[in-house]
Structure 1
Amino acid sequence: MKKYCYTLLSVSVLAACYSGQASANLRQQCLLGVPQFHGEPVQGDPNSLPVYIEADRAELNQPTSARYEGDVEVKQGNRYLTTQSLEVIQTGTEQNPVRNAYVKGGVTYKDDLINLTGSAARLDLDSKDGDLSNVDYQLVGRQGRGTAEETELRSRYRLMRNATFTSCLPGDDAWSVYAKEMRQDLEDEVAEMWHARFLVRGVPVFYTPYLQLPIGDRRRSGLLIPEVGSSSRDGYFYAQPIYWNIAPNYDATIIPKYMSHRGWQLNGEFRYLTLLGEGRFAGEYLGDDRYTDYVGENRSRHLFHWAHNAAFWNNWRLNVNYTKVSDKRYFSDFDSNYGSSTDGYATQFVKLSYFQPNYNISLSARQFQVFDESDIGPYRAMPQLDFNYYRNGIADGRLDFKLFSQAVRFDNDSNLMPTAWRFHLEPSLNLPLANQYGSVNIETKLYATHYNQRKGRSDRAEDIQRSVNRVLPQVKVDAQTVLVDQKSFIDGYSQTLEPRVQYLYRPYKDQSNIGSSLNSEYLGFGYDSTLLQQDYFSLFRDRRYSGLDRIASANQFTFGGTTRFFDENANERFNFSLGQILYVNHSRIDNSAENSTSGRSSSWAAEANWKINDQWNWRGSYQYDTRLDETSLANSTLEYNPSGNNLIQLNYRFASQAYIDQNLTRSANRYNQDIQQLGATVAWEIGNHWAMVGRYYHDIALNKPIEQYLGAQYNTCCWSVGVGYRRYVTSKANQEYKDDKDTFYDRSILFTVELRGLSNNHNSGISRMLGKGLLPYVKPFDL
């Protein structure tokens, strides 16, 4: 056999669609029916490589023609063509020859992108164009196949007539798209189809005069997977996401949603990435809410959200998180990605910061839109200027210095509430001492605060002291050590004991002249202070209250410790922490007994984590109130996670009524009993096709379920279908809790259908189902 060199045509049709994280088992199963490329891909222009032809017989008529017969094999780089008959004909002049190759009797072509067969072909060896008849093609390394009666192959595009495409594997015709004409643009990575019909099991179910499908890694504008379902609150609903790929750094998603009980809602999100930062704008708008149980005067319901993060000029940062809704019941009535009814408020925050190695400065504004029925809402801090300075190793390297300073203005929508400027300086010196036995940190700090307060604008506003100065020194000594036992009482484990003792002193100063007593019913204390919830780690905090308006006196010792167990591979398997504060004097902020600690000690606080083995984990916390002589808080989580996304999680949480009454404001306390809630979440992949999620949370005190969810999704290589049922506690406007019958539930059913194989995303759907609900799944372990 003789070998001759010619330049042949490149055939590359339909490339990869969106890539994504895949479920290994299903993805591997799907790829079993997909041809794979074996060998090293050739770099550079394949058209410049030599062509090798092998055939049983060859007849050369130089320079006009050449004919190859019998098991003809043509190779050029990664390209491989086989046929039984190949004829090359050259016409034109010697200076401008025209060379065409004609294939009859069937042709098979393979490369690193596509495998195809056809009945006949014409290949232009000069322009690299070609025409094929009766083509049957299949993508290499990914799902995608189809047919075409006539195919024109050009350098930039492929034009197919009477063509089909599907991501289903051979032998599976679950769905396909048929088009009179299909143009595949290889640069823009998109397939345009005219007079397209969508077929299910060969039966046409949808027609459109024009359709686009992505055939590459680029984002493409078009329709996304819709959501269909029903809800006792919204009625039947249909949401159709429309994706708009505006530019490489801009895109938008527009979601018209119809709800039979409410009407049309238009939702949208715009994302951007510029030199000034990245972020998103989002909005939701319902012009006229027809829901009969909604009693608000404004029937127009809407939401606006803006999130922005920027780093510019090396040292500058800008952060924005702004959410505003039309009414207080918005998140109770609508499911939204930008807030939840369990939050209780929406944050509106902007901050501009400048950073240097030893200091940083920031200018910010913050306010909250709250959703309860209190007449007096929280204060907004606008503007707020913060300055932090750090210098370690001063005084011959022995001391660390830190300065925090702040200037902020507080305002309130209520005419009854005062307004104020607050100026604060907080310098501190820290002496760290450490050796092989442990460490001691000795810290001195000074709180120096000045208030310039103005009485509320209403005639009924209470009088307030206009100028207030508060200076409080503080001394803290914190000692801790780590004791290691290489052979603990458990064979094969080492153990550490980490005792910690802290002494804190701060003198008392009456602070009832800061802020208004009216405000204590909502926020708790002052302009921005609230009582902090206590756990083991909070025992060692400097202050009992957040914010700076209430700095309680302190003369106390905190005793605590942690023990840890490590296996023979130095992996931490268990830890347990226990602590308590002993008060030398009661901690107080004014002369009110309600705002003072009672008894000589705080609650006992305990926390533990246990990695039982690679599949089982447990975490729990417990708080025993010595003043109430009862358990005040407790929670426990046990999780079984054998592999992948499979898990079983059990949760329990408890809060006593006495603890709620003592530590929460009256407006926040809607319980007249203990909180006892038990929950369970199960997520499981059954084989390669089924995924199921079940969730159940029950209020033991009310003896009523809080939330119930059951979802299932069936996945194949080219389609998936899912259904979810959800029932959860909600509320009605002006609802009064008189008896157990005043508990209202919303019931909803959600259907999802997805065409698969257009991307490498073969996930089972478990993550999406776990993320839905009032109490979405959270992995709680930190070992």
Structure 2
Amino acid sequence: MRIKLPQRFLLSTLTGVACSSSPAIALAQTGWMACPVPTADAAHEIQRPSHLPPQAVYIEADSALFRSQGISTMSGNVHISQANKTLQADQASYEQPAGIITGSGEVSFSSDNMQVRSRELHYNLPQNTGEMLAAEYYLPQANGQGVSKRVVQESPNLTRLDDSTYTTCPVNQADWSLNASTIKLDHTQERGTARNATLKIRGLPILYLPYFSFPLTDARKSGFLWPTISTNERSGLQLSAPYYWNFAPNYDLTLTPTLLGRRGLQLGTEVRYLTEKHHGEVNYVLLPNDNASDKNNRYYFNVHNDTRLGATSSLQLKAEGVSDDQYFVDLGNSLEATSVVNLERRLEYRTASDNWSFSSLLQDYQVLDGGIAPHAKLPQLLLRYHPPRKGNGLNLDAETEYTQFSGSTTETNGTRWDFVTRASKPFVTESAYIKPSLTLRHTEYHLDDTDNTHISRSLPSASLDTGLFFERNIKQGRYIQTLEPRLFYTYTPYRDQSNIPVFDSSARSLSYNQLFAENRFTGKDRIGDANRLTASVSTRIQSPEDGRELFRASIGQMYHFDERKVTLPDEAPLQGNRSELILEAAGEINPRTRLSTTAYWDSKENTVNAGEVRINYKDDKKRLLNVGYAQRKDNFESVNLSFAVPVNQNWKAVGAWEHDLQNDRDLETVIGAEYESCCWKTRVASRNYLLPDNTTRDNAVFVEFELKGLGNFGSGTRDLLQNRVHGYE
């Protein structure tokens, strides 16, 4: 079984290897405006008698002289049809028994592959060959059209166009076109090829192509992708010319040589595959000689493979790495890339049945910031057991994990075995629920190079989760409002865990969901002591017709009855008998505007310790506005804004801005513009962003052209704008 990979937009030049892109795919992916489609002549509306066999020749005309042998002549609104071919002409002749037709005057000819208007036609119906002079043609599959000095139907599936143009724009408004001495349309291979072609934008020649291939459908074919171009201060001008090999519908390879103006020549390789049992991709980028640094043979690799071993078993490989710590700082094009601090390598096996699941993990990291490397897990074995629910509603489950932590040169290495079992029993009615739960955890450590090589810990935890559910109709039943009070109590006794190393535990950030968690730490190396109660209430407003949530608000707080003593190394115990009051709200201000906010209120100091507000606006005119504000007391304060505004039918302004209010500095600024017609688009964006050293800034410029039916020429400007402007399409 072979499965097709995702579609690529392709270009072939110079080498003569055919390539592909798809108008249908382009329309779906980028939301093209609709170009006008040439309409059929009124004569084409003549109804061919339904009882005629497909190969029968049907003729209508105002006047005619028919002969059983030799040449018959017709004039005035001539209509000739056979099977999928139709001719309309002012004058025409038909030769028997050869089946040759000629047409003159205003001639229109159509078949499954194309529609042609010309002043003269000669066509052999049995052989499906012929020629048309001074022609205008239209290709329904590709929505492509143009004019040609001569159209020659060399065989049923091969058409030649001499001294012709090709475009997916309206002929009388061809914003772009290919002008070629010869264009061949292979309807079987679903591709067109042009020789001695010139690509024109608004009539201005911009690129000469000795040989060029373009798609007639969405079939993927080998060849050059459109080159990409961009620039930034660290690498200078970047010019890439990717070449794509389509080995099979489920295998392909892309080689991307890139000239970095300040650094040298870089080669990227991408292999993708998709089979019934395996799918994944392999990426490798190599810069052999970096002229802008003292580092050579700089590389990046990324491997991702998923293998299905059976109905319930799978194997997953993910591995990423670079040659040196500064690779992303020097060669990355975004704030996210330059902020990467470690790269993961993992191999994981999973299997499961109805009542249990098992996984085995090998995991390691490459650290890029010179900090402490996380422990490697070589291996981690995890078994979960979920027996069927008892008839009395009792839920039981158990989990055991064995992990060997290694690879750290500064921290303790060793093994950890952890076992946890849980029991719970929910009691539920239509308006209330209560769910008691009991958890028992036992953990064993065997440590390397320490005085205390064996450590064990056993801890129980108990919790009680209760809630009520009320609802009422408002606005004469147009909406339903709910009120949902909830109490959550949990208790875990204190155990001194200061002698236990921290392999994978960290403190959880306080959030609304964390109010209902039993443990305030992640991982298994710290089990926080707890004797606390969470009280919260939520309300929602919903539409009963479609269940759409129009508004939601929640407020909650934790109350501690004992001091919290368990800590991470070098951290002081948490103080206070209650947490911050957490408020969350989200809803529609109107059908075009949505507001969401979160706030952490310190009721003792009467201050907001942290908060976030987001407003998203989008209307039917495709106007977008996103405004956000976030702050954490004595830590950071920032504001961000992004927008996309149509200036007129064709032009759109796009931008994004993020500002650090605490330090009065811009973190990132993106400003761009987009022009769109029914057959081409162009985007340009300028980006300025702060590098990880918090001092140096980089500037980058991105330009992209997207020609309907020919793919896009540029540098991923659309992806940049989609990532920075929420809702941008």
TM-score, length of structure 1 as denominator length = 0.82
Cα offset, 1:218, TM superposition: 0.6
8 Å Cα contact 2:498-2:569 kept in structure 1:
no
**Which stretch shows the higher mean deviation, 604-613 or 479-488?**
479-488
8 Å Cα contact 2:703-2:717 kept in structure 1:
no
8 Å Cα contact 2:683-2:718 kept in structure 1:
no
What letter corresponds to residue 346 of structure 1 in structure 2? Answer: L
Asked whether 1:136 is paired with 2:136, we answer yes
Quote the residue 1:579 is aligned against: 556
Q: After superposition, give the CA deviation of every residue in 1:644-675 in whole Å (9 maximum; x if it has no partner).
A: 64211111111223xxxxxxxxxxxxxxxx30
8 Å Cα contact 1:510-1:591 kept in structure 2:
no
> Does the residue aligned with 1:486 lie in a helix, a strand or coil?
strand
Distance 1:767 1:751 in 2: 10
What letter corresponds to residue 68 of structure 1 in structure 2? Answer: M
Instruction: Report how many residues are paired.
Output: 701
Cα offset, 1:198, TM superposition: 2.7
Q: After superposition, give the CA deviation of every residue in 1:531-554 in whole Å (9 maximum; x if it has no partner).
A: 111111111112111111111111
Distance 1:307 1:242, change over 3 A: same
Quote the residue 2:267 is aligned against: 266
Cα offset, 1:500, TM superposition: 1.1
Cα offset, 1:23, TM superposition: 8.9
8 Å Cα contact 1:283-1:304 kept in structure 2:
yes
8 Å Cα contact 1:693-1:769 kept in structure 2:
no
Quote the residue 1:101 is aligned against: 101
Among 372, 375, 383, the residue aligned to 1:387: 383
Q: After superposition, give the CA deviation of every residue in 1:428-471 in whole Å (9 maximum; x if it has no partner).
A: 1111111233111111111111112112xxxxxxx342111111
Distance 1:336 1:708, change over 3 A: closer
Quote the residue 1:638 is aligned against: 615
What letter corresponds to residue 125 of structure 2 in structure 1? Answer: L
**Which stretch shows the higher mean deviation, 33-42 or 200-209?**
33-42
Distance 2:61 2:552 in 1: 74
Give unmatched runs, 5+ long, in structure 1.
1-13, 91-96, 456-462, 516-525, 658-673, 733-741
Cα offset, 1:637, TM superposition: 0.5
Quote the residue 1:437 is aligned against: 431
> Does the residue aligned with 1:71 lie in a helix, a strand or coil?
strand
Asked whether 1:768 is paired with 2:719, we answer yes
Distance 2:569 2:247 in 1: 61
Asked whether 1:284 is paired with 2:285, we answer yes
Distance 1:316 1:323 in 2: 24
Quote the residue 1:397 is aligned against: 392
> Does the residue aligned with 2:95 lie in a helix, a strand or coil?
strand
Matches of residues 623-662 of structure 1 in structure 2 within 5 Å? 623-625=600-602, 630-643=607-620, 645-657=622-634
Distance 1:47 1:177 in 2: 40
What letter corresponds to residue 465 of structure 1 in structure 2? Answer: N
Quote the residue 1:148 is aligned against: 148
Distance 1:177 1:450, change over 3 A: same
Give unmatched runs, 5+ long, in structure 2.
1-19
Among 318, 323, 336, the residue aligned to 2:320: 323
8 Å Cα contact 1:143-1:169 kept in structure 2:
no
Distance 1:482 1:745 in 2: 53
Among 465, 468, 476, the residue aligned to 2:452: 465
Distance 2:598 2:41 in 1: 53
Cα offset, 1:98, TM superposition: 4.1
Among 602, 613, 617, the residue aligned to 2:594: 617
Distance 1:597 1:354 in 2: 41
> Does the residue aligned with 2:535 lie in a helix, a strand or coil?
strand
Matches of residues 329-340 of structure 1 in structure 2 within 5 Å? 329-335=326-332, 340=337
Quote the residue 1:451 is aligned against: 445
Distance 1:54 1:41, change over 3 A: closer
Distance 2:537 2:146 in 1: 67
Cα offset, 1:560, TM superposition: 1.5
Quote the residue 2:541 is aligned against: 565
> Does the residue aligned with 1:551 lie in a helix, a strand or coil?
coil
What letter corresponds to residue 67 of structure 1 in structure 2? Answer: T
Distance 1:777 1:420, change over 3 A: farther
What letter corresponds to residue 501 of structure 1 in structure 2? Answer: L
Asked whether 1:753 is paired with 2:701, we answer no
8 Å Cα contact 2:21-2:219 kept in structure 1:
no
> Does the residue aligned with 2:518 lie in a helix, a strand or coil?
coil
Cα offset, 1:710, TM superposition: 0.4
Distance 1:529 1:20, change over 3 A: same
Distance 1:559 1:112 in 2: 70
8 Å Cα contact 1:266-1:284 kept in structure 2:
yes
Cα offset, 1:184, TM superposition: 1.3
Quote the residue 1:665 is aligned against: none
Q: After superposition, give the CA deviation of every residue in 1:510-546 in whole Å (9 maximum; x if it has no partner).
A: 222222xxxxxxxxxx101111111111111121111
8 Å Cα contact 1:15-1:113 kept in structure 2:
no
Quote the residue 1:55 is aligned against: 61
> Does the residue aligned with 1:597 lie in a helix, a strand or coil?
coil
Distance 1:233 1:212, change over 3 A: same
Cα offset, 1:476, TM superposition: 1.1
Quote the residue 1:350 is aligned against: 347
Distance 2:45 2:575 in 1: 78
Matches of residues 655-734 of structure 1 in structure 2 within 5 Å? 655-657=632-634, 674-731=635-692
Distance 1:336 1:709 in 2: 13
Cα offset, 1:408, TM superposition: 1.3
Among 419, 442, 445, the residue aligned to 2:413: 419
Distance 1:40 1:85 in 2: 17
Quote the residue 1:606 is aligned against: 583
Among 450, 458, 461, the residue aligned to 1:474: 461
What letter corresponds to residue 36 of structure 2 in structure 1? Answer: L
Among 485, 489, 495, the residue aligned to 1:503: 489
Cα offset, 1:312, TM superposition: 4.5
8 Å Cα contact 1:15-1:139 kept in structure 2:
no
Cα offset, 1:386, TM superposition: 1.3
Identity %: 25
Among 326, 351, 362, the residue aligned to 2:359: 362
8 Å Cα contact 1:683-1:766 kept in structure 2:
no
8 Å Cα contact 1:31-1:143 kept in structure 2:
no
What letter corresponds to residue 67 of structure 2 in structure 1? Answer: N
Distance 1:245 1:347, change over 3 A: same
> Does the residue aligned with 2:571 lie in a helix, a strand or coil?
helix
Distance 1:631 1:380, change over 3 A: farther
Cα offset, 1:283, TM superposition: 2.2
8 Å Cα contact 1:307-1:322 kept in structure 2:
yes
Distance 1:399 1:393 in 2: 6
TM-score, length of structure 2 as denominator length = 0.88
Distance 1:32 1:88, change over 3 A: closer
